[in-house]
Amino acid sequence: MNDVNAILLLSCADSKGLVAKISDFIFRRNGNIVHADQHTSKTDKLFFMRVEWELKGFALGREEISAAFAPLAKQFKMKWDLHFTDYTPRMAIFVSKHMHCLHDLILRRHMDELAAGVEAVISNHPDAGDLVEQFGIKFFHFPVTEKNKKQQEARELKLLREMNIDLVVLARYMQILSGKFLEYYSNRIINIHHSFLPAFAGGNPYKQAYDRGVKIIGATGHYVTEQLDEGPIIAQDVIKISHRDTVADIQTKSKDLERVVLARALRLHLENKILVYGSKTIVFE
Amino acid sequence: MNDVNAILLLSCADSKGLVAKISDFIFRRNGNIVHADQHTSKTDKLFFMRVEWELKGFALGREEISAAFAPLAKQFKMKWDLHFTDYTPRMAIFVSKHMHCLHDLILRRHMDELAAGVEAVISNHPDAGDLVEQFGIKFFHFPVTEKNKKQQEARELKLLREMNIDLVVLARYMQILSGKFLEYYSNRIINIHHSFLPAFAGGNPYKQAYDRGVKIIGATGHYVTEQLDEGPIIAQDVIKISHRDTVADIQTKSKDLERVVLARALRLHLENKILVYGSKTIVFE
Amino acid sequence: MNDVNAILLLSCADSKGLVAKISDFIFRRNGNIVHADQHTSKTDKLFFMRVEWELKGFALGREEISAAFAPLAKQFKMKWDLHFTDYTPRMAIFVSKHMHCLHDLILRRHMDELAAGVEAVISNHPDAGDLVEQFGIKFFHFPVTEKNKKQQEARELKLLREMNIDLVVLARYMQILSGKFLEYYSNRIINIHHSFLPAFAGGNPYKQAYDRGVKIIGATGHYVTEQLDEGPIIAQDVIKISHRDTVADIQTKSKDLERVVLARALRLHLENKILVYGSKTIVFE
Amino acid sequence: MNDVNAILLLSCADSKGLVAKISDFIFRRNGNIVHADQHTSKTDKLFFMRVEWELKGFALGREEISAAFAPLAKQFKMKWDLHFTDYTPRMAIFVSKHMHCLHDLILRRHMDELAAGVEAVISNHPDAGDLVEQFGIKFFHFPVTEKNKKQQEARELKLLREMNIDLVVLARYMQILSGKFLEYYSNRIINIHHSFLPAFAGGNPYKQAYDRGVKIIGATGHYVTEQLDEGPIIAQDVIKISHRDTVADIQTKSKDLERVVLARALRLHLENKILVYGSKTIVFE
């Protein structure tokens, strides 16, 4: 249990003494806090906190912490999650035709840059199979038609559950997921949208950006909700373009951006630094 | 005429020999080209050029150039403008309640950073008057109501024409200008919109950005057309925000951005570096 | 005392229970924490904290807080400062020939954007006098020669002390301040350097950037120490340039950057968000 | 020869009529110019041009162009190069222990994003071999010691020449190349330096950035010259960091930047958009 930390993510109505009581809970059990971030939304009178402490020397075993914390959580009607830094989340990547984000994630994993296991790659096209399997990752091809869409998604969900997948990454996956799927993986599906949302939501944002004549394009990493392209935003970045850039040039520039923004959003999720709040996120960077 | 340059801005259907013929026109008259920028839109088969050359040693006087160039322009059905670098455009600034862009422009003029004369400041509110007049600039107060809107605008346009105003800058002016006004100053009215267009067009973009939970905000300098917030974009820039930023914080950050983006758009216009093309711009930076 | 907050900035050797004890100190006296930021440097085993709470309802009067907190501070050998959000620091601005940062600060004050009083502008040149006095600010001209340098600085320091100046801003001031002056205003003098430090320290960074052919230039806001251009960095930003930019173009672009970066550094200081630590800063943004 | 363009890159002392004569050379032979970029350095009185035209319909075969252009080039003492867009340069990548840039380039090639053939990967360590060969690329391991350094470099240079390598990319290669090697591949070796040059030249720039407490880090793509880290800069970019970032965090953030900046520098080179001029570059973006 050396070097393992516990991370508590919580939110509740704002109230006096929350920081004191939560840090006291840890201190009394001999825990050493290494990070504490707190945010109060004045307009909504809500309190958000992320606190990380060392398990080494802590009076409670990791399996005892939840029960010990529950009374305090109940008193303040907290929503809360407990994570441990030695757990490696199990991730599945969905992809369609555009491979750049998939490739980037596979290489990050290969370089031990990703704090997650890439357990499966799922696609409605067979194209990615060879490369994926070359890196020792399981590849599943689920061709999707208008007709079999519902059944295929059910099979995918079944597979993910059997494989104990914690997190789904849509790395330029062009199929829309149903409410049922989204509910099961609520706040655990990350999508990369190839525009600076809310600008150019929907189809073909490269073309939309070209037609509008913007001087900057962007990419957005966000959690997926039923309202397409309206999920809570985790990370965004932009890059300059000019009149010289064709739609193809915009695509080339954007692809670099998408890779980096998706990786950044994913890293923040894997480090348990994100709290979702309505259609927004608190990101304790 | 020492150190004065001529600038030709032109566009036409693409055709072989355009660069050769235009540069030859200048060279044969002993002109020294100091800048030549050219762009061909392959999709639209259009040709755009900006060429700047020294009048010193040029065989034609400045008043003779247009007549000499006209036949070539006619042959290729060019749209074209001729400018001289020693002309100081006469500018009017429109403002409502938010003064930061106006203040910025006044100070830039005071520091000789603006290649334009600030001849008049026009507002539907009296607030800016004192500061404006303190810097020796004429201030005109045109209160606008639902009822007198049309007449006031007519009076403003008359004033601008009498004052020989070349360029109108809307430095956070909250009234909508009519088609008649816009037509007279076509591609000569620059507005600063306090969002990264096309995101958060319309009213209160700070609040819209806050509500959507974006991680980046922007500002857009553009020419004004009848379709509000849809005019050709000249310059855009962005700045990062986080969940810690209230609407007021967003406003504070945005104001710095708006000043800089408006000044950049204005500088590009004053240096005759912009060609408008449909709802887009070619900016020869 | 409505709406007034207290802010505690502190640092000490890292130790278990610091967050708990500090937040408990506030909670037991019925204080409502509105912001709490904490940072632990693992390499140096140091703890940093900024905590802000409402005085409204707090059991102690503002003049009693220091005495009450002192025992805890002593126990952990803390360096600490206590601030109140209703105090408006008294600021003096030093300037030489380049006025853009001075102008920007004066206008921000005029627009009520600066949470500080601009009490005096001091210059080794007379140029800024008229504009400064036009805005109702006191102007002091201290011409500096090789010979009188020491005496003039002594007179300046005397003036600042008599005027109870809290904070000195070097808005492109080209004279070097002595160790005595710097010691008196330790961590209370902010300078804007017109390069991306540590690149292009020293004289004429615009020319240095041009000669080196960099593709990006920057500006740096930092506290002033005896080692010129090596003080703790508060804020930095950059802008792209190209081979088309002359030294004069670089200057024009940089000036916009300098204004914004200096204003940002100043805002962070005035919001008491900075802890200095060796030659570095902790900025709780 | 459909859709193939010729690209002329040239520089010479500035002189009247250069644009006219060069564009006339192309026009008289029935060439259609698709891009023409020109730059005049006023301080050095130098002229730079990049002109691209369609071979389709051009009166000269590609092998005849050089001879036809030579008299004009001689008259103005031009330095010049002629390229054709259907030639795919043969590239070798050098790497040591850090693989992220190598991986990125391999994947870009795999996705047909690179307009170059990756013919060989050369390393002083064996680590990269498996992955490189998995993608069907030749891998050469040249272990380097103090003693054999000179001979190994000679063998490498021999290999590159035998393989007709046009371009060498140092993708985090930690050995210094000799003047002989550099001379042979003058302006054809691109290095990625993991700092914002000239800041943090030399070893361990991540640690240097951490120790200095900068708020922004960068990466620089540049041509390699004998003066280490002083070669002509092609592309730079930056990313924000904070006091929370450890040296390891800085490395993680920087690696994303290095990949993108190296790829951008390489793309500009492969599109023949760069002219080197002393220790600087003209980049016709």
Mutation target to probe the D interface, by most D beta carbons within 10 A, among B3, B5, B8, B16 is B16
The pLDDT value given to residue D2: 66
Strand partners, D139: D121
Mean pLDDT of chain C: 95
Six-digit token pair at A84? 């441990």
User: A19 — contact with chain D (CB < 8 Å)?
Assistant: no
ipTM of the complex: 0.94
Pick the residue from chain A with its C-alpha nearest to B196.
A199
Nearest to C281 among D213, D246, D282 (CB): D213
In whole angstroms, what separates CA C75 from the centre of its chain? 29
User: B281 — contact with chain A (CB < 8 Å)?
Assistant: yes
pLDDT tens, per residue, chain D with 285 residues: 568 999 999 999 999 999 999 999 999 999 999 999 999 998 889 999 999 999 999 999 999 999 999 999 999 999 999 999 999 999 999 999 999 999 999 999 998 989 999 999 999 999 999 999 999 999 999 999 999 999 999 999 999 999 999 999 999 998 899 999 999 999 999 999 999 999 999 889 999 999 999 999 999 999 999 987 899 999 999 999 999 999 999 999 999 999 999 999 999 999 999 999 989 999 998
User: C3 — contact with chain A (CB < 8 Å)?
Assistant: no
User: A260 — contact with chain D (CB < 8 Å)?
Assistant: yes
pLDDT of C1 higher than 70: no
CA angle, corner D251, sides to D247 and D254, nearest 5? 135
Nearest to C260 among B113, B242, B260 (CB): B260
- Report residue A228: phi and psi, to 5°: -50, 135
Interhelix angle A18-28/A62-75, rounded to 10 degrees, is 150
Contact: D16, B34; criterion CB under 8 Å: no
Give the residue from D45, D274, D36 showing the smallest Cα distance to C242. Answer: D274
pLDDT tens, per residue, chain A with 285 residues: 568 999 999 999 999 999 999 999 999 999 999 999 999 998 889 999 999 999 999 999 999 999 999 999 999 999 999 999 999 999 999 999 999 999 999 999 998 989 999 999 999 999 999 999 999 999 999 999 999 999 999 999 999 999 999 999 999 998 999 999 999 999 999 999 999 999 999 889 999 999 999 999 999 999 999 987 899 999 999 999 999 999 999 999 999 999 999 999 999 999 999 999 989 999 998
Contact: D39, C282; criterion CB under 8 Å: no
User: A232 — contact with chain B (CB < 8 Å)?
Assistant: yes
Contact: D103, A99; criterion CB under 8 Å: no
Mutation target to probe the C interface, by most C beta carbons within 10 A, among B95, B103, B114 is B103
- Chain A closest CA to C41's CA: distance in Å? 9
End-to-end alpha carbon distance in chain C: 25
Interfacial A residues in 135-174 facing C (CB < 8 Å): none
User: C43 — contact with chain D (CB < 8 Å)?
Assistant: yes
> Chain D partners of A255 at a C-beta cutoff of 8 Å?
113
Q: Identify the chains in contact with A, defined as 3+ C-beta pairs within 8 A.
A: B, C, D
Contact: D197, C214; criterion CB under 8 Å: yes
Give the residue from C252, A185, A175 showing the smallest Cα distance to B263. Answer: C252
Contact: C238, D215; criterion CB under 8 Å: no
Pick the residue from chain D with its C-alpha nearest to B17.
D27
CA-to-CA distance for D223 and D233, rounded, in angstroms? 7
Active-site residues of B, by number, are 229
Contact: A111, D104; criterion CB under 8 Å: no
The residues, any chain, with a CB within 8 Å of residue D229's CB and separated by 6 or more, are D193, D197, D198, D201, D202, D222
The residues, any chain, with a CB within 8 Å of residue A280's CB and separated by 6 or more, are A232, A233, B212, B213, B243
> Chain C partners of D231 at a C-beta cutoff of 8 Å?
none
> CA separation (Å) from B57 to A126, A127, B53, B64, D107?
68, 64, 10, 14, 55
User: A264 — contact with chain B (CB < 8 Å)?
Assistant: no
Contact: D244, A285; criterion CB under 8 Å: yes
CB D259 within 8 A of CB D101: yes
- Chain C closest CA to D283's CA: distance in Å? 7
The residues, any chain, with a CB within 8 Å of residue A244's CB and separated by 6 or more, are B39, D285
Nearest to B30 among D16, D27, D28 (CB): D16
CB burial of D14-35 (b: ≥16 within 10 Å; e: otherwise) equals bebbbbbbbbbbbbeeebbbbb
Pick the residue from chain C with its C-alpha nearest to B101.
C107
User: B134 — contact with chain A (CB < 8 Å)?
Assistant: no
User: D30 — contact with chain B (CB < 8 Å)?
Assistant: yes
CA-to-CA distance for B155 and B149, rounded, in angstroms? 10
Contact: A20, C16; criterion CB under 8 Å: no
CA-to-CA distance for A279 and B127, rounded, in angstroms? 39
CB B168 within 8 A of CB B265: no
Contact: C16, A27; criterion CB under 8 Å: yes
Strand partners, C212: none
Mutation target to probe the D interface, by most D beta carbons within 10 A, among A260, A261, A285 is A260
> CA separation (Å) from D127 to B239, D139, D152?
41, 10, 18
> Chain C partners of D214 at a C-beta cutoff of 8 Å?
197-198, 233, 236
pLDDT tens digits for range B190-237: 999 999 999 999 889 999 999 999 999 999 999 999 987 899 999 999
Contact: D35, B38; criterion CB under 8 Å: yes
Contact: D103, A113; criterion CB under 8 Å: no
Mean pLDDT along residues B247-261: 96
Is position D229 annotated as part of the catalytic site? yes
In whole angstroms, what separates CA A134 from the centre of its chain? 26
pLDDT of C42 higher than 90: no
Nearest to C36 among A17, A19, A42 (CB): A19
pLDDT tens digits for range B100-146: 999 999 999 998 989 999 999 999 999 999 999 999 999 999 999 99
- Report residue D60: phi and psi, to 5°: -105, 145
Six-digit token pair at A156? 């995918």
Six-digit token pair at A48? 């958000």
Mutation target to probe the D interface, by most D beta carbons within 10 A, among A35, A98, A103 is A103
Q: Identify the chains in contact with B, defined as 3+ C-beta pairs within 8 A.
A: A, C, D
CA-to-CA distance for C99 and C103, rounded, in angstroms? 6
- Chain B closest CA to D44's CA: distance in Å? 13
User: C102 — contact with chain B (CB < 8 Å)?
Assistant: no
The pLDDT value given to residue C43: 87
The residues, any chain, with a CB within 8 Å of residue C170's CB and separated by 6 or more, are C94, C189, C190, C191, C192, C224
3-state secondary structure of B242: coil
In which residue are the tokens 């035998």 written? D162
DSSP B67-108: HHHHHHHHHTT-EEEEEETT---EEEEEE-S--HHHHHHHHH
In whole angstroms, what separates CA D4 from the centre of its chain? 22
> Chain D partners of B244 at a C-beta cutoff of 8 Å?
none
> Chain A partners of D244 at a C-beta cutoff of 8 Å?
285
Contact: C283, D242; criterion CB under 8 Å: yes
User: C252 — contact with chain A (CB < 8 Å)?
Assistant: no
User: C237 — contact with chain D (CB < 8 Å)?
Assistant: yes
Contact: B30, D40; criterion CB under 8 Å: no
